[in-house]
Amino acid sequence: MQASQEEPIVSKQGVCRPQLLVDVPRGPSSSLGMLGERSASTKGVNARFNLELRRSELRPRRRGDESEGTIQQCDCKIEVIGPRIQSGESVRTSRPNSSLPWIAFPPDATRFAGRLRETPSPSNTYAMMVDQCRRHCTRSRPNWFFANRFPAASMLLCIIGCHLFVVFVPSPRVVSACMNEDSSDAPRPISLVNDVVPVLTKSGCNAGTCHAKAGNGQNGFQLSLLGFEPKEDFSHMVLEGRGRRLSLAAPEQSLLLLKATGTVSHGGGAKIPVDSDRYRTLLEWIRQGAHDDMATAPKLLSLEVHPNKGSLAVGGEQQLKAIAKYSNQTAIDVTPLALFESNDSAMAVVSESGLVRILDIPGKASIMVRYQGNVAVFQASVPQGTPVALVPPSKNFVDDHVFENLRELGIPPSPVCDDSTFLRRVSLDIAGRLPSDNELQAFLNDPSDHKRDDAMERLLQSSEYADFFANKWTAMLKNRRDDASDITSNFAFYSWVRDSLLANKPYDQMVRELLAATGTVIANPPVAWYKRVKEPKQQLEDVAQLFLGVRMQCAQCHHHPFERWSQDDYYSLAAFFSQVGRKPTATRGEDMIFHKRGMAGAANLKTGVTLRPAPLGESTIAIAPDTDPRLKLADWMAAPNNPFFAKALVNRYWKHFFRRGLIEPEDDIRDSNPPSNPELLAALEKHFIESHYDLKELVRVLVRSNTYQLSSIPNEHNARDEQNYSRYYPRRLQAEVLLDAIDDFAMTRTDFPNLPSGTRAIALPDNSYNNASPFLKVFGRPENESVCECERIQTSSLAQSLHLMNAGDVKGKLSNGNGRAELLAKSDRPMQDRVVELYRVAFSRQPSAEELTTAVSYLNEPRFDAQGNPVDAGKSLRENLHDLLWALINTKEFLFNH
Amino acid sequence: MSDPFYASSCQHAQSLPSHLGAGNGPCCGPQAFGHAGRRGFLRMGLGGFASLSLPGLFRLQSALASDGQKSPREKTAIIMVWKPGGCSHIDTYDPKPDATSEYRGPFSTIATKVPGLQFTELLPRQAAIADKFTVLRSMRQTAPGHPAGSMQMLSGDPDTRDKPKPKYPDWMTVTNFLRSQQEARTNPLPRYVGINPPLEYNGPAYLGDMYSPFTVMGDPNAPNFSVPNIGLSDASEVQRLDRRSGLRQKLDTLTRAFDRQGELGALDQFEQQAISLLTSPATKEAFDLTKEDDRTRDRYGRNAWGQQLLMARRLVEAGVEVLTTSLSGQLCGRVGNWDDHAVNHHVFDALRFRAAAYDQAVTALIEDIYERGLDKRVLVVVTGEFGRTPKIEYSPSTGEGNASAPAGTIQPGRDHWPRAFSNVWAGGGIRTGQVIGATDKRGEDPIERTCSAGDFLATIYHHLGIDASTTFIKDFNGRPTPIVDHGKPIPELIG
């Protein structure tokens, strides 16, 4: 093979785009006859040709240095012009057009130029040939190919209809020159797949909001989403709409162009300027006959971005270059047609043409580059460059990686937080509750230097740990009450999750029990998941997103826009769930789940081909009809080298404790969404696997680190850091935790239907209690409908503020006749003590002197009734206490875990 | 079966063509109106206020920095009057006097102010102002059940099967969400208010409850009616809130340490807004019907429906942008809604029973919108989820009550009919006095200008300045989802 590995990158605007692999095998000379049967293979293309060339069909017209001739065979006419080819060379070309067989030239072939009867002249061969092509083939497209890596000569090919013209020129430069010179007149062949569709994508035509089929397709003109299906695009553009979308007779009048340029009224406005390369590409394609070249177009193999990483200063810029590599071993600069997108537009922005501009937040920014279903990522490290003199001591590998990253970026971390803050933080994060006054007392008085680890351990062993995390998991596992009769199965499922967490069942085992559950809900509670998640599609989507961190939903109907997942990948994964058998039980809505014997398989929605089970990104695995495919899936997931399973979990837990996932969103793991600290993620993954998927151990590693224990108060250098964990990022208490915290603080409780009095909000088994508690709803407790934790609303809202300030349930708690306010009102302790108690319970700390003074003097203020008469001291104090409680729960310090 | 509402059994569903997805179980009527209603005034706290998102805030700040101008389109508003259960089109806006007695019903037709347009005798007042609104007679959707039908009309979900909860957000929450993204709300009134709104078969789906309506429940005609959380009732309470927030301010020390933190900053803003809402006399006044003169109140009708629509007009005038209210409850008859199967109601008695209040309230609202110059900004839409079967059915009543004979008595009824029904459009700058579309001689199917639920929604969105064909919202999985599944604004209803 002579075709070069390092094909020069040529501009897409230029016409010198190699489209056809030409290789020149060296070897003994071959005769025409020998060429009759030969199979040729190039990357990705296998074809056989059968060409019988008979010498009699060579009709030499002239003798001498320049000779011409015509080869005719069947309906294929080959016309060749060129200099003499060196003896010992043969030329093969890959099949340029489906209507043409493969052709080859004998080593001793001289030049043939049959059709160029008029004025064949070596000096203007090219231009003349173009002219000829036009004349002879007015109704066919000319397709120009050119390869410039010949040992001795370059070859130019032109295919028009059934005619192939070949020009050999002495050097690549000559070809280049003549083609460029001639570019306006005789442009290169435009490929539907590699030229037209990218233009549509870049111009946004096939975006969801415009003409993408997935988004309905405006005005009945539907294109495949982001051009993943050129075949459909061809039929939509060329064949449908009664052919009015393209005008071959008057290409400029094609509706496609008139609309795109806004010449005629277009809902989407003018998308493609008339004087743009994109316009010219479309126009030329239509001029050339608007052919499809799905079968022949070189296949896009990969996309690269240059550079793919770099260190950029705040405010810095970098122009990216997108390089597409094709099956014909060419590499094209596709920057003008690639799509650029910043993963975090607060950190970096990127222009349409690929110019990256770094904003003022230090850290890791990434830019996703997309071109025709391929994705590449540019990662910029944006150092702040502040000298990092002091870093807390490293307690484990978490600290190693985080602090190393901070040093590299030049972001000094905040110091380690004080004991009070730590205890409040860790209690909220592990057990979902505030520390009690006694706990706080004991902790603060504990002289031990490992008291933080001890506190963490106590919390991990508490039943509240299981409550809190069961609450987290059951929401994602959709433990949902749709019908009153669901109560039994929901309670059973909740208990199974909670007990598993309490017993610290290894994570892989938990997942296996869930995935491969069989039987009835009561006998085997994880079966309840199959009650909620009924369809194989839903099952694979949930499993992929929840346990693998991969969002497959898109690939059900079209290629994933940011990912490598195709519909085949989707249905191969669905196949694992194809043998889930169901049999109704006596309980309404509940099925017994069993393995239905048979070959697992799922049909691709588009192709109709039944696919056998294949794990994500891997090849099909053979599963005997007697084996439950779900077990195989579980095996694959829990294998130590699984690229997703452990990563998804550690990232999810990292987010639980650090507010922001190393990969964000936590369940959207893909090549185009790189982690902010890949080394740390890898180390966590490794540790988790080595601990045999021990969830509590994972919590220990996270919480023990000084990274977790950093103060949330920014120093003068790290306030802008949002992703490197140079401080603890505060977060609003989630709905259940906040309700419990208010109850603890006010010494009240919230009653929930069908549950024992005193059940905490954090221990609610399903979503049905949201209806009973407006508080939970307003503060965003999820309805357990989505596998995504984003269903829980953590942002603040006006409704929440109003609720805390004025809602009946909150007001009732603060002034409850058996509550803390009442107790304090009746107490004869000094006012100061009472304030201290409130502070310790609400904020897990002592009040400052100033706060103490403010609060005490407020409590001592006399009150007057509407008529201006003083009210009695007891009532006055009570009112003031209610006010103080109200004020404290309405502070950020109470509402946030900090 | 103590609640007669659940007692309805609907073999009628089988009478619908199978392609409409009918026949999958007995109909339970629109449950929302059975149990969720009238229990309390304020459901679900204060959802719907939270129309101020963080990006919205920032945008507001920058907008205020430049200039506060907004295009008039953004200020448009909609009042949707919802007839839960579905109103019989053939007995109201689309009479078929020439149909046989199996179809046409007992009501005679009357002329309207628009030559050639006829209503039944149930709507004399609307007939007299028929030049002020437009009737769309060729509405059609494909879901035969209350849940799916409501979801088609309100959220554009094409699914014909009933499901307990909507998969897509309804147009009201979508509007609230989109407008919140565009601009922060400076008006202390919530953007989206429901006065006894349709509750069960609609909702915010993946947008989250923060975009749900501020909901006012109860009978605004009742003497003791009040709206909680809007304007504290007495001055001492306001004073106390001021005192409390003063104290809070002093004790809220954490904020100062984090002054760069966006989330804490946003919370501060919400708190200020909440206080202004609680203490502002203007917000209180907007809900206070006693501020209307007696003649106006009388004009709407001194009953729940009349006063609901009056409050709707008042609120929209004060700056509420999305307002829904459903005409349900006692004024509907025994089962509290428009679901006039023979098992529930004597359909003709029921229509007559509710006609006066309905006709008066809707007429007053439409006239008032024009008289007060709100007719460009405010679009009024009166509709239900479907019509009723043109062919009358007879079944035994399941209980005695208003508009229903004693249990066991055979009485006439009409069942669900999504294939053709009518709705009413006024204001919104549209050309009125039109009639759009027509149904066949029995009122069974549209014969011209068939309009789908998608068209219905696209028309509503168009008035709100939202291009339904290009607006997508990301669902829980981050997939951009169109707000309308196929549909174009109905050209005759574009202002």
pLDDT at position A771: 84
**Residue of A209, A268, A892 with shortest CB distance to B254:** A892
pLDDT at position A213: 75
Whether the pLDDT of residue A709 is over 90: the answer is yes
Average pLDDT over chain A, rounded to whole?
Answer: 80
CB contact under 8 A, B257 and A713: yes
CB contact under 8 A, B476 and A803: no
pLDDT at position B175: 96
Cα A285 to its chain centre, rounded Å, is 33
Range of A43-52, A278-287, B476-485 with top mean pLDDT = A278-287
For residue B422, being part of any structural domain is answered with: yes
Of A30-34, A92-96, A519-523, B308-312, the least confident: A30-34
Q: Looking at per-residue confidence, does B275 or A890 come out higher?
A: A890
The mean per-residue pLDDT over the stretch A775-781 comes to 91
CB contact under 8 A, A886 and B278: no
Report the candidate in A99, A60, A82, A65 with the shortest Cα–Cα distance to residue A166. Answer: A82
Q: In angstroms, what CA-CA distances link A175 with A23, A53, A128, A296, B272?
A: 17, 28, 14, 23, 73
Render pLDDT for A583-640 as a digit per residue (tens, 0 to 9). Answer: 999 888 899 999 999 999 999 988 899 999 999 989 999 999 999 999 999 999 999 9
Instruction: Say how far apart CA A5 and CA A150 lie, in whole Å.
Output: 13
For residue B268, being part of any structural domain is answered with: no
Report the candidate in A81, A37, A35, A32 with the shortest Cα–Cα distance to residue A57. Answer: A32
B349 token code pair: 């008695």
CB contact under 8 A, B251 and A851: yes
**Residue of A482, A777, A891 with shortest CB distance to B252:** A891
Q: CATH no. for residue B413?
A: 3.40.720.10
B234 neighbourhood in chain A, CB within 8 Å: 866
pLDDT category at A269 given cuts 50, 70, 90 is confident
Report the candidate in A627, A595, A633 with the shortest Cα–Cα distance to residue A508. Answer: A633
Instruction: Say how far apart CA B361 and CA A422 lie, in whole Å.
Output: 61
The mean per-residue pLDDT over the stretch A863-876 comes to 87
A785 neighbourhood in chain B, CB within 8 Å: 165, 476
Fold of A300-382: Immunoglobulin-like (2.60.40)
CB contact under 8 A, B250 and A803: no
**Residue of B46, B165, B270 with shortest CB distance to A778:** B46
- The ipTM is 0.71
For residue B479, being part of any structural domain is answered with: yes
pLDDT at position B343: 93
**Residue of A215, A797, A886 with shortest CB distance to B270:** A797
**Residue of B47, B164, B232 with shortest CB distance to A799:** B47
Render pLDDT for A380-421 as a digit per residue (tens, 0 to 9). Answer: 999 998 999 889 999 999 999 999 999 999 999 999 999 999
Please write down the HEC assignment for all residues of chain B.
CCCHHHHCCCHHHHHCCHHHCCCCCCCCCCCHHHHHCCCCCCCCCCCCCCCCCHHHHHHHHHHHHHCCCCCHHHHCEEEEEECCCCCCCCCCCCCCCCCCHHHHCCCCEEECCCCCCEEECCCHHHHHCHHHEEEEEEECCCCCCHHHHHHHHHHCCCCCCCCCCCCCCCHHHHHHHHHHHHCCCCCCCCCEEEECCCCCCCCCHHHCHHHCCEEECCCCCCCCCCCCCCCCCCHHHHHHHHHHHHHHHHHCCHHHHCCCCHHHHHHHHHHHHHHHHHHCHHHHHHHCHHHCCHHHHHHHCCCHHHHHHHHHHHHHHCCCCEEEEECCHHHHCCCCCCCCCCCCCCHHHHHHHHHHHHHHHHHHHHHHHHHCCCCCCEEEEEECCCEECCCCEEEECCCCECCECCCCCEEEECCEECCCEEEEEEECCCCCCCEECEECCCCCCEEECCECHHHHHHHHHHHCCCCCCCCEEECCCCCEEECCCCCCCCHHHCC
A890 neighbourhood in chain B, CB within 8 Å: 244-245, 248, 252, 271
Instruction: Say how far apart CA A497 and CA A690 lie, in whole Å.
Output: 23
Measured between CA atoms, the residue of chain A closest to residue B56 is A797
Work out how many CB contacts closer than 8 A connect A with B: 184
- Domain boundaries of chain A, sorted by first residue: 10-181, 192-287, 300-382, 518-632, 735-751+767-897
pLDDT category at A214 given cuts 50, 70, 90 is low
pLDDT at position A216: 65
Instruction: Say how far apart CA A434 and CA A446 lie, in whole Å.
Output: 19
CB contact under 8 A, B251 and A855: yes
CB contact under 8 A, A713 and B278: no
Render pLDDT for A318-377 as a digit per residue (tens, 0 to 9). Answer: 999 999 999 988 888 999 999 998 888 888 999 999 999 998 888 889 999 999 888 999
Kindly report the nearest CA distance between residue A500 and chain B, in angstroms: 28
**DSSP reduced 3-state for A733:** coil
pLDDT at position A561: 79
Measured between CA atoms, the residue of chain B closest to residue A887 is B248
**Residue of A714, A796, A858 with shortest CB distance to B270:** A796
For residue B247, being part of any structural domain is answered with: no
Kindly report the nearest CA distance between residue A533 and chain B, in angstroms: 15
Kindly report the nearest CA distance between residue B139 and chain A, in angstroms: 21
Measured between CA atoms, the residue of chain A closest to residue B236 is A866
For residue B45, being part of any structural domain is answered with: yes
Whether the pLDDT of residue A161 is over 50: the answer is no
Instruction: Say how far apart CA A712 and CA A694 lie, in whole Å.
Output: 28
Kindly report the nearest CA distance between residue B348 and chain A, in angstroms: 35
Kindly report the nearest CA distance between residue A167 and chain B, in angstroms: 50
For residue B242, being part of any structural domain is answered with: no
pLDDT tens for each residue of chain B, 495 residues long: 333 333 333 333 333 333 333 333 334 444 433 333 333 333 333 333 333 333 333 333 333 333 333 344 448 999 999 999 999 999 999 999 999 999 999 999 999 999 999 999 999 999 999 999 999 999 999 999 999 999 999 999 998 888 878 889 999 999 999 998 888 777 888 899 999 998 778 988 888 777 888 888 889 999 888 887 777 767 788 888 989 999 998 888 876 666 555 667 767 777 887 888 888 888 888 999 999 999 999 999 999 999 999 999 999 999 999 999 999 999 999 999 999 999 999 999 999 999 999 999 999 999 999 999 999 999 999 999 999 999 999 999 999 999 999 999 999 999 999 999 999 999 999 999 999 999 999 999 999 999 999 999 999 999 999 999 889 998 887 788 899 988 999 999 987
* Domain extent at residue B367: 4-231+280-493
Question: What is the number of domains present in chain B?
Answer: 1
